[in-house]
């Protein structure tokens, strides 16, 4: 079944929570009319329907405000009470012609686990995030990596010394998600893989499976994993083209990483990619 609410193209979490809360409000309003009928034995008058409708819309607005204001509030975890901010940083536009050919980048790609530890520039970050999930068709809002039914279940975070940021494909910008350097704790959550701690920046792919499941049911899980592979390979190849190295990391404790990233319910960590200048 096609879920049109997931096909809209405004920034990810806002769109999803808005459409979801509006649908829920609509269901509630129908429920209220049913309860009215059952308790009074007659249908509500026109003005009574307007009052019920207004009540439903106010409930939706309050729900949406709560989701925007408290991204971690749905997870029953005291750590979610810690700072989650919403400061937007625009990235420089991606460069669409590079000095390294696709063939050369593919032939040179290796998993790199030893980094110099220098910082990533905004230009490098822009390019890597664009390769991961950037918009390449402004009209239809299609992205660098293919997505089953364009349902776009993936979200990309980047952990650097400047904190944990979330990538917003629609505006090609970063939103501050958590104001602390989490790389050391992320390495701990990945069974001590020290290249996560020593890299310049770590991309983390998470997935909201329900976006794809709403359309493809039980096949969604494999589709989401295929998609993560596409997006991650773009990042590995882009890293080589920038003179950087990267490493795929799939071995980590899901629950620990989910808590560390303050992920809301329904969003799962999938793939970690430490990136930096190879030593």
Residues lying near ligand FMN in the complex (CB under 6 A) are found at 110-111, 113, 193, 247-251
Hey, which residues does 188 pair with through a beta bridge?
A: none
Provide φ and ψ at 235, rounded to 5°: -65, -45
Smallest separation, CB 109 to ligand FMN (Å): 7
- Residue 146 or 250 with smaller CB distance to ligand FMN: 250
Provide φ and ψ at 150, rounded to 5°: 50, 40
- Residue 174 or 247 with smaller CB distance to ligand FMN: 247
- Angle ∠(72,120,186) on CA atoms, nearest 5: 40
- Residue 68 or 191 with smaller CB distance to ligand FMN: 191
Q: What single string gives the DSSP state of each residue in 102-136?
A: HHHHHHH--B---B--PPPPHHHHHHHHHHHH-EE
- Residue 14 or 229 with smaller CB distance to ligand FMN: 229
Nearest C-alpha neighbor of 200 from the set 228, 161, 239: 161
**Residue number closest to ligand FMN, CB atom:** 250
- Residue 217 or 250 with smaller CB distance to ligand FMN: 250
Smallest separation, CB 197 to ligand FMN (Å): 13
Smallest separation, CB 251 to ligand FMN (Å): 3
- Residue 250 or 266 with smaller CB distance to ligand FMN: 250
- Angle ∠(168,170,172) on CA atoms, nearest 5: 60
Smallest separation, CB 250 to ligand FMN (Å): 3
Smallest separation, CB 114 to ligand FMN (Å): 11
Q: Is the dihedral of CA 13, 225, 241, 143 positive or negative?
A: negative
- Residue 92 or 229 with smaller CB distance to ligand FMN: 229
Q: Rounded to whole angstroms, how far apart are CA atoms 68 and 133?
A: 22
The CA-based diameter of the chain, rounded to the nearest angstrom, is 77
Smallest separation, CB 277 to ligand FMN (Å): 17
Smallest separation, CB 169 to ligand FMN (Å): 23
Strand pairing of 245-246 and 268-276?
antiparallel
Q: Which residues contact 266 (CB under 8 A, 6 or more apart)?
A: 74, 208, 209, 210
Q: Tally the residues of the chain.
A: 279
């Amino acid at each position: 079944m096609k879920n049109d609410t997931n096909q809209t193209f405004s920034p990810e979490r806002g769109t999803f929570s808005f459409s979801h809360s509006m649908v829920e409000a609509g269901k509630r309003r129908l429920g209220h009319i049913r309860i009215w009928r059952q308790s009074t034995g007659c249908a509500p008058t026109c003005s009574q329907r307007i009052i019920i409708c207004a009540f439903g819309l106010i409930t939706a607005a309050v729900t949406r405000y709560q989701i925007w204001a408290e991204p971690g509030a749905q997870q029953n975890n005291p750590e979610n009470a810690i700072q989650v901010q919403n400061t937007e940083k625009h990235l420089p536009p991606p460069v669409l012609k590079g000095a390294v050919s696709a063939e050369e980048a593919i032939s040179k790609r290796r998993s790199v686990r030893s980094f110099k530890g220098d910082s990533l520039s905004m230009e490098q970050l822009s390019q890597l995030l664009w390769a991961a999930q950037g918009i390449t068709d402004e009209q239809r809002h299609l992205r660098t990596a293919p997505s089953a039914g364009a349902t776009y279940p993936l979200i990309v975070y980047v952990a650097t010394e400047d904190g944990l940021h979330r990538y917003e494909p629609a505006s090609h910008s970063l939103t501050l998600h958590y104001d602390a350097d989490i790389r050391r704790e992320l390495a701990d959550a990945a069974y001590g893989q020290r290249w996560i701690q020593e890299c310049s920046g770590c991309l983390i792919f998470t997935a909201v499976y329900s976006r794809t499941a709403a359309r493809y049911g039980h096949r969604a899980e494999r589709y989401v994993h295929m998609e993560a592979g596409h997006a991650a390979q773009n990042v590995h190849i882009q890293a080589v083209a920038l003179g950087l190295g990267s490493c795929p990391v799939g071995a980590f404790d899901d629950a620990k990483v989910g808590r560390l990233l303050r992920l809301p319910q329904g969003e799962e960590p999938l793939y970690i990619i430490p990136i930096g200048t190879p030593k």
